[in-house]
């Protein structure tokens, strides 16, 4: 059964855009006429706003410190000894809100269901899997070709329950682009290294090095493929958790950690 790749890409991109829209609508009110989401995302992570946020955080931390100092003075006056608790300060430095976690969960479940169903369809005509290696190979070859048109470039293991799927040119994020100013920054950043120049000549693709904020946005596109891998493996009978690392743009490494039930 051949899946239309453009349709799959469309579905995934639309769902991720919807998700990003909801996440950002929590902080700002979006114009309904505003359709250019990429511009919005770029402006959201503008340098000025980052500075403002940092300033706010510092102010809040200072306030808390002042309160704690007052409390400490009172306690000393009372003559009691108390251990300093660090917990209230750390609450302001949480990296992901509950809403984001909820959305990430939902994206992952979308991928999970997709993976389960494709695995059912494709495993119907395959001989029985005897070992773990065969199951991983099934995901790396058959499911990847069915969904993305090519196989995984490299499948490695550490023989202790961790499997890594490395894809050189991951289809779903291949055509992601940034705003013009960001691209120029990225390219100039990267042109200086000889290695990258050689790589570019060999592979004919431009691997783009990204900043931290760009990587964070990119991460939201990679939850669905993580779910796909997890769903496919659980359909075959291997329970695992899947994470992904993406340093340069089309080059991803998915890591599946098998959960051993004993």
Partner 1 sequence: MKIVSIAILGKKNNPLYVYVSNEENKRKFEYIIHTSLDFFEEKVPLISPLSKKSTQNQNDMYLGHLFPTEDYKVYGYLTNTNYKLVCIIDDSEIKEQEMKTLLNNLHTILVDTICNPFYITDEPITSKTFHLKILDLIGKK
Q: Is 121 in the site for partner 1 (CB under 8 A)?
A: yes
- Cβ-contact 246, 223 below 8 angstroms: no
Residue 237 has a CB neighbour count (10 Å cut-off) of 9
Instruction: Report the C-alpha gap between 92 and 139 in whole angstroms.
Output: 40
Give min distance, CB of 121 to partner 1, in A: 6
**Residue 26, C-beta contacts closer than 8 angstroms, at least 6 positions apart:** 97, 99
Q: Which of residues 141-200 bind partner 1 (CB under 8 A)?
A: none
Q: Which tokens go with 115?
A: 């993976």
Q: Which stretch binds partner 1 (CB under 8 A): 36-44, 82-90, 124-132, 143-151?
A: 124-132
Neighbours of 47 (CB within 10 A): 8
Residue 96's SS3 state is coil
Asked if 41 touches partner 1 (CB under 8 A), the answer is no
Using rule CB under 8 A, residue 2 touches partner 1? no
Q: Which one, 173 or 235, has the nearer CB to partner 1?
A: 235
> Could you say whether residue 113 binds partner 1 (CB under 8 A)?
yes
Q: Which stretch binds partner 1 (CB under 8 A): 20-28, 83-91, 143-151, 234-242?
A: 234-242
Chain residues in the site for partner 1 (CB under 8 A) = 113, 116-117, 119-121, 123-124, 126-130, 235-237
């Amino acid at each position: 059964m051949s899946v239309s790749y453009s349709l799959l890409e469309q579905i995934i991109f639309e769902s991720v855009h919807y998700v990003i829209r909801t996440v950002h609508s929590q902080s700002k009110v979006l114009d309904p006429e505003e359709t250019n989401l990429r511009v919005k995302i770029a402006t959201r992570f503008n340098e000025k706003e980052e500075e403002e946020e940092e300033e706010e955080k510092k102010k809040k931390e200072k306030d808390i410190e002042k309160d704690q100092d007052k409390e400490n003075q009172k306690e000393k006056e009372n003559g009691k000894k108390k251990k300093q608790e660090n917990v209230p300060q750390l609450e302001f430095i949480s990296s992901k809100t509950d809403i984001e976690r909820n959305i990430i969960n939902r994206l992952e479940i979308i991928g999970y269901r997709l993976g389960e169903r494709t695995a059912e369809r494709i495993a119907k005509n395959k001989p029985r899997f005897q070992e773990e290696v065969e199951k991983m190979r099934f995901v790396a070859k058959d499911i990847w070709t069915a969904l993305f048109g090519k196989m995984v470039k490299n499948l490695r293991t550490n023989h202790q329950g961790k499997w890594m799927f490395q894809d050189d040119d991951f289809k779903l994020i291949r055509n992601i682009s940034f705003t013009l100013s960001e691209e120029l920054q990225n390219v100039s950043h990267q042109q200086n290294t000889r290695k990258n120049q050689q790589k570019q000549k060999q592979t004919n693709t431009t691997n783009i090095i990204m900043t931290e904020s760009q990587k964070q946005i990119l991460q939201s596109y990679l939850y669905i493929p993580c779910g796909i891998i997890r769903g496919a493996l659980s359909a075959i009978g291997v329970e695992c958790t899947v994470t992904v690392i993406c340093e340069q743009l089309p080059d991803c490494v998915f890591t599946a950690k098998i959960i051993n039930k004993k």
